[in-house]
Amino acid sequence: MRYFEQDGSSLIWRNKGETLVITPWGENSLRVRSTLMGDVADTRFALLDPQEAQPEITIGDTHATIRCAGITADVTMDGWHRYAQITFLNARGEVLLRETPPANALALKSRKFEPHLGGDFALTATFEGQDGEHIYGMGQYQEETLDWKGSTLELAHRNSQASVPFYISSRGYGFLWHNPAIGSVSFGTNRTTWHAESTKQLDYLVCAGDTPADISLAYAKATGFAPEMPEYGLGFWQCKLRYWNQEQLLEVAREYKRRGLKIDVIVCDFFHWPRMGDYRFDPEFFPDPAAMVSELQEMGIELMVSVWPQVALTSENYEEMLQQGLLVRAEYGEQIGMRFVEDSMFFDATNPRARRYVWEKCRKNYYDHGIRIFWLDEAEPEYGTYEFKNYRYHIGSNQQIGNIYPQHYARTFYDGMIEAGQQNPVNLLRCAWAGSQRYGALVWSGDIMSQWADFRRQICAGLNMGFAGIPWWTTDIGGFHGGWTDHEDFRELFIRWFQWGCYCPVMRLHGDRQPSQPVRRKDGTPVLNSGYNNEVWSYGETAYPILVHYMERRESLRPYVRTLMNEAHTAGKPVMRAMYYEYPQDAACADLKDQYMFGPDYLVAPVLEAGARSRSVYLPAGSWTDVDTGITYEGGQRTTVDAPLERIPVFRRNA
């Protein structure tokens, strides 16, 4: 009886209605797909065309292998259940990852399809646990955790949570769960368990590499590289909730210019429009957008404009978009996805016609005025109650494909800007999924609180986003909610956050500062409030010279940051790198979550506790020089260094 066969470069196994296909996806990567009662589909949710590879396939009666240059899949059938178990090995024959076995009388399945009667499947895939393994990546979760071994994660997006299901293992492989379904993953000590609530097939990618950088490169080849970062992405970005009229925004930019402080970008935040979904400036508050953009560009400043995917039921575009089927649809109840200011539903970014419609509105009303950067907020999308089962898209139910939404939202603008002739678009988004990086997605960490605990969580969030293949990442410096500009306790947090922001991929100031300021139309009608002042001169005489120093520090780092952005573009490397990423052979670096490498040369140790004026830092082997004091330290040890309010510890690695 023939269980195995070869089809081109793929190895196929069939038994009892299951079809399992293993295909090379480059010389160091293998893609695995499986389905019941049908043929596997080549659905490209995140994957691009594979890099050329010439596999060696060997087939026996109950055993087969598919071997590429850097990775091998060994498929063995047990004698009792005739069930195929896959083991992945590196070029040296060392086990990287193995599916769980049937376990004799237990009759377990590592690929378990549970039917939804009359529909598709719930899917569970399990792999054996490996002693001493460390798991990094998976996107952005608001936890103070770097190594996910022993953790369970939701595979779903929320405001400040971005599920990017790719991880890098300390055993020398990367794993992409190529499935945008709502689900979960548990990295247990005995097994790793992936679960999709609704899907048509199993689909995952395994990449082998001797270093994290090797794995990042293989993954980027499979899912895409970030574009080159434009020059305006290297400096300082000024933002607040919210500059509510044209003159206010321009006057802030002029004041930075008068003070001799260079900013690259200033941001016009949300509710500058008449109604959500109008995709244009409100002429009462922004009477001449083209003139505003022109004056800013004369000062060397780009304007970034917020766009929301929500379309209010009162929007001038709502009825047409509803009639044309360009909106997400609720399965039950009212056709409302969110209630903020007014009722709205999200445009369906998975629908090519909807993407074209929204881009054409934004091209006419923003891009044609000279705006070249967009802030694509609410990108999860942020459903009011996150009832994931209750929404349907052009390409399927939210439960089955919903996690792909932010990737398609980024694509909406990326494709339009490329078609308009712009090179290397970069847009700010609040969420991402696998492959988002190739659409110029710069992700920020969402509407977090202005608290020390939230600050600490952002270090891990940024490092794990880098591991997950999203090299462009940032935060609201100072946090978003709850920061009072005039309060001394918040000012200390703000200073420490700002210092750290200098060593983030993008240095961006934002937040809803308190007390909020009411805003009204000329006729007295209230509109959305504006936050309090959030410019560097807003935080008092002690803070101002410190903030200016770090703005100038960032500017001095511009050539270096440019090289890091190039490494992201050409090699898939993150800009902000966990210590383990740069020093995988140093066991002391495996779980360091409060310090990191800014590229290969700078070790950054943020101050993460209120009142702290020193902190402990681990320096890997070699020689390190404090960039502020000039003191040189020998590595391979932990040391305590001073951290007065005016500086955080940063060390340059000596050659």
Which residues are part of the catalytic machinery? 377, 380, 447
Half-sphere exposure in the Cβ direction for 439 (13 Å, CA): 26
pTM of the model: 0.98
Pairing, β 576-578 against β 596-598 = antiparallel
Tally Cβ neighbours within 10 Å of residue 262. Answer: 17
Half-sphere exposure in the Cβ direction for 597 (13 Å, CA): 22
| pLDDT in the model for residue 79 | 81
Q: Are 127 and 99 in contact (CB under 8 A)?
A: yes
Q: Which two tokens stand for residue 564?
A: 């890091």
Q: What is the mean pLDDT of the chain?
A: 97
| pLDDT in the model for residue 352 | 98
| pLDDT in the model for residue 104 | 84
- Cα separation, 482 vs 512, in Å, equals 7
pLDDT tens-place string over residues 52-61: 899 999 999 9
Q: Are 155 and 164 in contact (CB under 8 A)?
A: no
pLDDT tier for residue 118 given thresholds of 50, 70 and 90? confident
User: CB-based burial of residue 382 (10 Å sphere; 0-12 exposed, 13-18 middle, 19+ buried)?
Assistant: buried
Q: What are phi and psi of 404, to 5 degrees?
A: -80, -10
The overall longest dimension of the chain from CA atoms, in Å, is 83
pLDDT at 202 over 90: yes
- For residue 292, the one-letter residue type is M
pLDDT tens-place string over residues 511-531: 999 999 999 999 999 999 999
| pLDDT in the model for residue 119 | 86
Domains of the chain, start order:
4-223 (2.60.40.1760), 231-574 (3.20.20.80), 577-653 (2.60.40.1180)
pLDDT tens-place string over residues 331-363: 999 999 999 999 999 999 999 999 999 999 999
Give, in degrees to the nearest 5, the angle at Cα 634 between 630 and 639: 85
In the predicted model, what is the mean pLDDT of residues 614-626?
98
Which value, in Å, is the radius of gyration of the alpha carbons in the chain? 25
In SS3 terms, 1-32 reads as CCCEEEECCEEEEEECCEEEEEEECCCCEEEE
Q: Measured on CA atoms in the order 130, 131, 137, 138, is the torsion positive or negative?
A: positive
pLDDT at 158 over 90: yes
Q: Residue 139: CB partners within 8 Å, gap ≥ 6?
A: 161, 162, 163, 164, 165, 432, 464, 465, 468, 470
pLDDT tens-place string over residues 472-518: 999 999 999 999 999 999 999 999 999 999 999 999 999 999 999 99
